[in-house]
Amino acid sequence: MAGVQKGAQKGPLTDDLKGAGKGVQKGVHYGLRELGEPYPRLSWPQAVEQAWAMVEGLSAAELAGQVLAIGFVPAQVTPEVEATLRQIRPGAIILFSRNIPSPAAVTALDRDLQQLADEISPHRLPFLIGTDQEGGTVARLGPPATVFPGNMALGALGDVRAVRQAAVITAQQLRTVGITWNYAPVLDVNNNPANPVIGVRSYGEDPELVAALGIAAIRGYQMMGVMATGKHFPGHGDTAVDSHLGLASVPHSWERLQAVELVPFRRAIQAGLDCIMTAHVHFPAVEPEAGLPATLSARVLTGLLRQTMGFPGLIVPDSMEMKAIADNFGLNQAGWRAIAAGADVAMVSHRVEDQCNVYQGIIEAVQRGDLPRERLVAAAARSVAARLRYGLTSASQEASRLTAVLSQAEQQGWEAVGVGRAQDRQKALTMAAAAITWVRPFSTGLQQVSSDRMVLPLPSPDRPWLVVEFGVRATSFAEDPMEGEGPLARALRAELPVDTRAVHGLTLLLGGGAGDAMTQATLATLLDALRHGRYGALCVATHEAHRLAGQMEMVNQLYIACRQAVPPVPAVVVGMRTPYEVAVLPEAWPYLCLYGPTEVTLAAAAQVLLGRAQARGELPVSVQGLPDEAGRARSWRERVQGVDWVAGLDAGGTSTKCWVASVDGRLLGRGEAGPGNFQVVGLEAATRAFDEALRQALQRARERAAGANAEKLAADPRWVCLGLAGADRPEDRRLLARGVAQLGWDAPIVWENDASIALAAGRSVGAQAVLIAGTGSIAYGRAAADGSPVRAGGWGYLLGDEGSGYDLGRRALVAVLKAWDGRGPATSLTQAILAQAGEGVEPPGLIPLVYRGAWDRPHIAALSHTVLAEADRGDAVAQEIVRQAARELIELVQAVARRIVPVSPHARDVPHAPAGPHAQASSTATVVRAVAAGGLLASGSPMWKWLRQAEAEQAQGRSSSAETAAPRVELHPLPVEPAVGAVLLALERLGALEGANGERVLARLYGSYREHVS
């Protein structure tokens, strides 16, 4: 592996924001996965099958515990907490800031919890421990851990790589301290300025933006061993009621839900999201029963989410103690009704009596028959399966790991175990500064240092800045109270350490009851000081002023005082949260939006205000009160300028080919490198080939692009689909993951074998059957009504290796043994094979090679390629071997075609491209269209001329009667290579081939392909 690390660790997708994976490469932190063991480790069907066997024999009480996630107040396992846990024996624990005063405290708490789980949990499974680590205003694990800017800030930044990097680092920290379930990311589309609970927790108002950034976060969390949770399904973004306080309704039509609210969830499911949290919101378009929230609706959870959208993972409703549920349905009923509707885990976050109420309600519902035992078993199986997917199989092992983390952190500091590293905080600071947005055009009084950079006059002790902030503790129940006063003033002082008298910070309380009179007196003093010019500048930090009338009144008074001063006092409004408030603020004031007052964001804001950093963010939501188009948020497609791309790699034994394509169906570039079958050439050479092929494709794409488009192509693709013949075993995937991780790629990767690519690509174009063939393999299958393959496999699977590419190698060895005359190599083929085996090999040494080593697939594959190479050089033995294999391939293609497609004996026209995404013609053309979709065999491949020759020989000897009995399948040079089939698969996974849009994408893809190869 040293060669890969040294020669290929900086792949084609590196950039300045990269670096999150460096700790992974070293593999030293207790909280990190080791390379080669990517998460999740099991598929959902595998995990559920194992889990079902573990839970089906449990009692109703034990099952009820497994479907509960409970919280508690202390930061340690007190006797009271232990008693509750022993009684309920829950499957999961939810932690809040009250439980996480420090990394050391939460690690010790999680260790103690897992030690208890080792005693009380069925099968001694660990607890699934979760928390809300969204970033921004909702982050339970705080400093010294690194907390990244929140979702709306990342939406303003609009960088998929940055979002994924933030998620990777966040997950590293969580897993280190024992948290393996993150209730993030928020996938709500926030398009309601009056929304009291989502706001800055959303990436923005464009469903595609939310989907793209949400998927990046999901992949970052889950690849590092922390289960992600998309919330709040089906969508909480267009509500004006906080479900903590009441039951909201989203009255939109089904068409609108499909076009907006459901888009991020649909995309996330396709991308592999493992958990979805449901909203306590009523959706009349899906659930006609008045007042029934999604959490308790079988039509939403089972009908829409499971059956229509095909979600295989864990369904967990938001906390059952929220008033939308508790006040309307009662906790004794709500828990079991959610499970009956299709939920897998019920979350009861705070009070012991509420937890016992829900727990007892589930048991009683099973006893009454209101909750079928089978449904409870299924829910418990998914709860257990989630742990199995992420390697959480032993509570004692997890407790021991956490003990080791505590020991190392105590000796070397928390940075040594990956929590709160200086380089991670710098990344967060860089992201925060780049996300901050100058929303309103600049006014007089600010100094313009560049076209996009304005600063206030620098503060001094003689002319200090006045920083007025409002004492807002928290704007929603999802957030933690903000303790202390004046965080912006403190951040500014930290940037001016020489003389802190240059900043005068003051907090004005809102709704302070008896303190209102004191606040008004303080405000009057400030107004008088501003009018008399005692301050050189004013910064006002606002919090959702459009929803808080008292704050708005104070802001207006400060504005008037600044205008009355002679000369007027320059001022700026710093919006701590959503930019919607700009519509109600004085029009003359410049407005800077932070999207959430986190520690790194405030530090970045101080640097921006002092002219030390640039604010480059772009509005992710539209706001009123700005001229012309200034307040319109551009869509995600506008922001990425249409060059949002995918990559397809075909890692063959002869060469590695790559195509990159835009998601709207334009092929952008092609690359080719050496063999990529790691079983043939080894892992180091294969990964170098991957990297080189993609590098070439990107370079050619950049050469074809221009200006900003070329810059966009330097970003990560939406998806990389890597076709790997024979890489079906888990150990193969782990080995490949180790190699690819060291390339420095930051793109999500899908591992598929050639058969899977062909089948999926064929389904994308509506093909009835799909065949794919390369140098020595063929696979076939048929798409069933539900889109799944009926059967797929290589030659070895079909014929027991008889006639397969591996059989070429076996025949080569037999030919060598027959040709050996006791004096040395008799043919060039023999010489080539002996060179592979080592110099000076005598016949007694060659025979063990055949029977002990060469029957292994990697050796046989290598020998088959040697046979092809020697046949091309004219070796008679090799040519005869290849001729026979080519004849068998022709016969096999015909046999498969007859078996799975009703072929007309008179259908002889063979088109060069699929007729369209829904081609269903029952003829030989159908087979060839499907072959083209999957990428059968490109002209010029090593086996091509031998197949053409065998076809010609067969045609010469075929009679007219035989023609009717066994219709011919012509092997024309097809227009689609296997790597293009991989591109098709990637586009399908992204949902780019859905509906009418899919037809347009396919038309552009094939048109662009013909242009490329002409």
- Residues marked active site are found at 244, 318
The amino acid at 444: T
For residues 486, 491, 496, 497, the Cα torsion angle rounded to the nearest 10 degrees is 90
Q: What are phi and psi of 948, to 5 degrees?
A: -65, -40
Do residues 62 and 340 lie in contact, with contact meaning Cβ atoms separated by under 8 Å?
no
Classify 420 in phi/psi space as left (phi over 0), alpha (psi -120 to 50) or beta: left
- Euclidean distance between the first and the last CA atom of the chain, given in angstroms as a whole number: 40
- Measured in whole angstroms, the distance separating CA 873 from the mean position of its chain's CA atoms is 48
Pick from 503, 506, 494: which is nearest to 603 by CA?
Answer: 494
State the CB neighbour count (10 A cutoff) for residue 420. Answer: 18
Distance separating alpha carbons of residues 878 and 826, to the nearest angstrom: 12
Give the CA count within 13 Å in the CB-facing half-sphere of 1003: 7
Query: How far lies 879's CA from each of 232, 613, 869, 935, in Å?
Result: 63, 68, 10, 26
Do residues 985 and 724 lie in contact, with contact meaning Cβ atoms separated by under 8 Å?
no
Q: What are phi and psi of 931, to 5 degrees?
A: -60, -45
Pick from 195, 303, 297, 307: which is nearest to 243 by CA?
Answer: 195
Pick from 206, 257, 261: which is nearest to 235 by CA?
Answer: 261
- Peptide bond connecting 264 to the previous residue in cis, omega within 30 degrees of 0: no
Helix (H, G, I), strand (E, B) or coil at 469: strand
- Peptide bond connecting 497 to the previous residue in cis, omega within 30 degrees of 0: no
Distance separating alpha carbons of residues 157 and 232, to the nearest angstrom: 23
- Measured in whole angstroms, the distance separating CA 357 from the mean position of its chain's CA atoms is 37
DSSP-H helix ranges across 583-706: 599-609, 636-640, 678-681, 683-704
The strand pair at 537-542 and 465-470 is best described as parallel
The amino acid at 633: A
Distance separating alpha carbons of residues 887 and 884, to the nearest angstrom: 5
Query: How far lies 439's CA from each of 540, 589, 595, in Å?
Result: 15, 11, 12
Pick from 948, 914, 917: which is nearest to 928 by CA?
Answer: 914
Distance separating alpha carbons of residues 322 and 329, to the nearest angstrom: 11
All residues at 6 or more sequence positions from 629 whose CB lies less than 8 Å from its CB, including other chains:
none
The amino acid at 568: P
Pick from 887, 855, 882: which is nearest to 956 by CA?
Answer: 887
Strand partners, 388: none
Do residues 457 and 447 lie in contact, with contact meaning Cβ atoms separated by under 8 Å?
yes
Helix (H) or strand (E) holding 504: strand 503-508
Distance separating alpha carbons of residues 991 and 998, to the nearest angstrom: 8
Do residues 201 and 620 lie in contact, with contact meaning Cβ atoms separated by under 8 Å?
no
> Please, what is the Cα angle at 369 between 366 and 371, to 5 degrees?
55
Concatenated DSSP letters of 88-129: H--SEEEE-GGG-SSHHHHHHHHHHHHHHHHHHSGGGPPPEE
Distance separating alpha carbons of residues 480 and 485, to the nearest angstrom: 15
